[in-house]
Amino acid sequence: MADAMENLRQSLKSAPVIWKGDYPYFIHPITDGVPRMHPEVLESIIELVVQRIDWSEVDLLLGIEAMGLPLSAPVSISTGLPLVVARKRAYGLEGEVKIDQSTGYSKGSMYLNNLKEGERVAIVDDVLSTGGTAEAVIEGVHRAKARVTNVLAVVEKGEGLERLQGLYPDIRIQSLVKLEMDGESIVLLDG
Protein backbone atom coordinates (compact mmCIF):
# COMPACT_ATOMS: atom_id res chain seq x y z
CA MET A 1 0.00 0.00 0.00
CA ALA A 2 2.90 2.39 0.70
CA ASP A 3 4.13 2.01 -2.88
CA ALA A 4 0.62 2.60 -4.22
CA MET A 5 0.26 5.81 -2.20
CA GLU A 6 3.71 6.98 -3.30
CA ASN A 7 2.75 6.37 -6.97
CA LEU A 8 -0.39 8.51 -6.52
CA ARG A 9 1.45 11.25 -4.64
CA GLN A 10 4.26 11.43 -7.22
CA SER A 11 1.76 11.61 -10.07
CA LEU A 12 0.05 14.56 -8.36
CA LYS A 13 3.33 16.33 -7.59
CA SER A 14 4.29 16.18 -11.27
CA ALA A 15 0.86 17.27 -12.57
CA PRO A 16 0.91 20.33 -14.82
CA VAL A 17 -0.74 23.51 -13.54
CA ILE A 18 -2.60 25.99 -15.74
CA TRP A 19 -4.24 29.28 -14.86
CA LYS A 20 -7.96 29.82 -15.42
CA GLY A 21 -8.26 33.54 -14.84
CA ASP A 22 -6.77 34.13 -11.39
CA TYR A 23 -7.14 30.49 -10.33
CA PRO A 24 -4.34 27.90 -10.56
CA TYR A 25 -5.76 24.56 -11.72
CA PHE A 26 -3.88 21.25 -11.61
CA ILE A 27 -4.43 18.80 -14.46
CA HIS A 28 -4.23 15.11 -13.69
CA PRO A 29 -5.43 12.09 -15.69
CA ILE A 30 -7.69 10.85 -12.86
CA THR A 31 -9.45 14.23 -12.54
CA ASP A 32 -9.31 15.47 -16.12
CA GLY A 33 -8.55 12.57 -18.45
CA VAL A 34 -5.32 14.30 -19.57
CA PRO A 35 -2.40 13.99 -19.74
CA ARG A 36 -2.22 10.27 -20.42
CA MET A 37 -2.92 7.88 -17.56
CA HIS A 38 -0.14 5.44 -16.84
CA PRO A 39 -1.52 2.02 -15.87
CA GLU A 40 0.62 1.78 -12.73
CA VAL A 41 -0.93 4.98 -11.36
CA LEU A 42 -4.47 3.78 -12.07
CA GLU A 43 -3.63 0.38 -10.59
CA SER A 44 -2.26 2.11 -7.46
CA ILE A 45 -5.41 4.21 -7.10
CA ILE A 46 -7.68 1.18 -7.48
CA GLU A 47 -5.60 -0.75 -4.91
CA LEU A 48 -5.97 2.12 -2.43
CA VAL A 49 -9.72 2.50 -3.03
CA VAL A 50 -10.35 -1.22 -2.63
CA GLN A 51 -8.40 -1.27 0.65
CA ARG A 52 -10.20 1.75 2.16
CA ILE A 53 -13.79 0.46 2.10
CA ASP A 54 -15.35 -2.46 3.98
CA TRP A 55 -17.01 -4.04 0.96
CA SER A 56 -19.06 -6.41 3.12
CA GLU A 57 -21.17 -3.32 3.93
CA VAL A 58 -21.81 -2.48 0.26
CA ASP A 59 -24.30 -3.89 -2.26
CA LEU A 60 -23.76 -1.46 -5.12
CA LEU A 61 -21.01 0.80 -6.42
CA LEU A 62 -21.96 4.22 -7.81
CA GLY A 63 -19.65 6.21 -10.10
CA ILE A 64 -20.25 9.80 -11.16
CA GLU A 65 -19.94 10.89 -14.78
CA ALA A 66 -17.47 11.67 -16.22
CA MET A 67 -14.19 11.10 -14.41
CA GLY A 68 -15.70 8.73 -11.84
CA LEU A 69 -16.02 6.16 -14.63
CA PRO A 70 -12.33 5.22 -15.05
CA LEU A 71 -12.28 4.69 -11.27
CA SER A 72 -15.51 2.88 -10.63
CA ALA A 73 -15.31 0.32 -13.46
CA PRO A 74 -12.06 -1.31 -12.26
CA VAL A 75 -13.27 -1.10 -8.64
CA SER A 76 -16.40 -2.99 -9.71
CA ILE A 77 -14.23 -5.66 -11.34
CA SER A 78 -11.96 -5.87 -8.28
CA THR A 79 -14.81 -6.17 -5.77
CA GLY A 80 -17.31 -8.15 -7.85
CA LEU A 81 -19.99 -5.56 -7.06
CA PRO A 82 -22.43 -4.21 -9.65
CA LEU A 83 -21.95 -0.64 -10.84
CA VAL A 84 -24.37 2.17 -11.69
CA VAL A 85 -23.41 5.60 -12.97
CA ALA A 86 -24.87 9.00 -12.11
CA ARG A 87 -25.41 10.35 -15.62
CA LYS A 88 -25.88 13.84 -17.02
CA ARG A 89 -28.61 12.50 -19.30
CA ALA A 90 -32.17 11.40 -18.55
CA TYR A 91 -33.29 8.00 -19.77
CA GLY A 92 -36.85 8.00 -18.46
CA LEU A 93 -36.57 4.55 -16.92
CA GLU A 94 -38.92 3.57 -14.14
CA GLY A 95 -37.63 4.84 -10.80
CA GLU A 96 -35.20 7.34 -12.34
CA VAL A 97 -34.19 10.02 -9.82
CA LYS A 98 -33.29 13.50 -11.06
CA ILE A 99 -30.78 15.40 -8.97
CA ASP A 100 -29.74 19.01 -9.32
CA GLN A 101 -26.10 19.54 -8.53
CA SER A 102 -24.17 22.73 -8.07
CA THR A 103 -20.45 23.01 -7.50
CA GLY A 104 -17.92 25.79 -7.55
CA TYR A 105 -17.37 24.92 -11.22
CA SER A 106 -20.70 23.93 -12.71
CA LYS A 107 -24.42 23.57 -12.29
CA GLY A 108 -26.75 21.05 -13.87
CA SER A 109 -28.89 17.95 -13.54
CA MET A 110 -27.84 14.36 -13.10
CA TYR A 111 -29.88 11.17 -13.13
CA LEU A 112 -29.73 7.99 -11.07
CA ASN A 113 -31.18 4.74 -12.34
CA ASN A 114 -31.55 1.16 -11.11
CA LEU A 115 -31.16 1.80 -7.39
CA LYS A 116 -33.16 -0.59 -5.24
CA GLU A 117 -34.83 0.17 -1.94
CA GLY A 118 -32.58 -0.70 0.98
CA GLU A 119 -29.41 -1.17 -1.09
CA ARG A 120 -26.17 -0.09 0.55
CA VAL A 121 -24.25 2.15 -1.85
CA ALA A 122 -20.59 3.22 -2.03
CA ILE A 123 -19.87 6.32 -4.11
CA VAL A 124 -16.42 6.55 -5.70
CA ASP A 125 -15.35 9.75 -7.48
CA ASP A 126 -12.25 11.56 -8.65
CA VAL A 127 -12.26 14.80 -6.67
CA LEU A 128 -14.20 16.36 -3.84
CA SER A 129 -13.84 20.12 -3.42
CA THR A 130 -17.06 21.95 -2.53
CA GLY A 131 -18.98 18.71 -1.96
CA GLY A 132 -21.88 19.95 -4.07
CA THR A 133 -21.96 16.98 -6.43
CA ALA A 134 -21.52 14.40 -3.68
CA GLU A 135 -24.27 16.00 -1.59
CA ALA A 136 -26.69 15.98 -4.52
CA VAL A 137 -25.90 12.33 -5.29
CA ILE A 138 -26.29 11.31 -1.63
CA GLU A 139 -29.69 13.02 -1.51
CA GLY A 140 -30.69 11.31 -4.78
CA VAL A 141 -29.73 7.91 -3.38
CA HIS A 142 -31.82 8.65 -0.30
CA ARG A 143 -34.80 9.63 -2.47
CA ALA A 144 -34.46 6.26 -4.21
CA LYS A 145 -34.77 4.73 -0.70
CA ALA A 146 -31.26 3.29 -0.84
CA ARG A 147 -28.53 4.10 1.72
CA VAL A 148 -25.06 5.53 1.17
CA THR A 149 -22.49 3.80 3.39
CA ASN A 150 -19.29 5.28 1.91
CA VAL A 151 -18.10 8.17 -0.20
CA LEU A 152 -14.50 8.00 -1.36
CA ALA A 153 -12.77 10.63 -3.48
CA VAL A 154 -9.26 10.17 -4.79
CA VAL A 155 -8.41 13.87 -4.34
CA GLU A 156 -9.74 16.25 -1.71
CA LYS A 157 -9.27 19.98 -2.00
CA GLY A 158 -11.21 22.64 -0.17
CA GLU A 159 -13.59 22.19 2.74
CA GLY A 160 -16.26 20.05 1.07
CA LEU A 161 -15.32 16.77 2.71
CA GLU A 162 -15.44 18.26 6.20
CA ARG A 163 -18.79 19.94 5.42
CA LEU A 164 -20.27 16.65 4.19
CA GLN A 165 -19.04 14.80 7.29
CA GLY A 166 -21.01 17.32 9.37
CA LEU A 167 -24.15 16.80 7.26
CA TYR A 168 -23.92 13.00 7.11
CA PRO A 169 -22.26 11.64 10.26
CA ASP A 170 -23.47 8.08 9.51
CA ILE A 171 -21.64 7.93 6.16
CA ARG A 172 -17.92 7.21 6.00
CA ILE A 173 -16.61 10.05 3.82
CA GLN A 174 -12.91 10.03 2.98
CA SER A 175 -10.24 10.82 0.42
CA LEU A 176 -6.96 9.23 -0.56
CA VAL A 177 -5.02 12.51 -0.65
CA LYS A 178 -5.72 16.10 0.32
CA LEU A 179 -4.09 18.96 -1.52
CA GLU A 180 -4.21 22.69 -1.99
CA MET A 181 -2.82 25.01 -4.59
CA ASP A 182 -0.11 27.51 -3.64
CA GLY A 183 0.32 29.54 -6.79
CA GLU A 184 1.67 27.11 -9.36
CA SER A 185 2.61 24.54 -6.72
CA ILE A 186 0.56 21.55 -5.64
CA VAL A 187 0.87 21.10 -1.88
CA LEU A 188 0.01 17.62 -0.58
CA LEU A 189 -1.37 18.04 2.94
CA ASP A 190 -1.49 14.51 4.32
CA GLY A 191 1.20 11.92 4.86
pLDDT of residue 43: 97
Class of domain 2-188 (CATH, top level): alpha beta
Alpha-carbon separation of residue 43 from 48, 70, 145 (angstroms): 9, 11, 33
Q: What is the pLDDT of residue 101?
A: 77
pLDDT computed for residue 106 by the predictor: 65
Cα-atom radius of gyration of the chain, to the nearest Å?
16
Q: Across the 191 residues of the chain, what is the mean pLDDT of every consecutive 10-residue run?
A: 92 93 90 94 97 98 94 97 97 95 74 98 96 96 98 96 98 97 90 55
Task: Enter the pTM of the model.
Answer: 0.94
Question: Using CA atoms, how far apart are residues 31 and 158, in angstroms rounded to an integer?
Answer: 15
Domain ranges in the chain are: 2-188
Query: Mind spelling out the 3-state secondary structure of the chain?
Result: CHHHHHHHHHHHHCCCEEEECCEEEECCHHHHCCCCCCHHHHHHHHHHHHHHCCHHHCCEEEEECCCCHHHHHHHHHHHCCCEEEEECCCCCCCCCEEEEEECCCCEEEEEECCCCCCCEEEEEEEEECCCHHHHHHHHHHHHCCCEEEEEEEEEECCCHHHHHHHHCCCCEEEEEEEEEEECCEEEECCC
Task: Look at residue 103 in the predicted model and tell me its pLDDT.
Answer: 60
Tell me what pLDDT residue 190 has.
Answer: 74
> How far is residue 156's CA from residue 186's CA, in Å, rounded to a whole number?
12
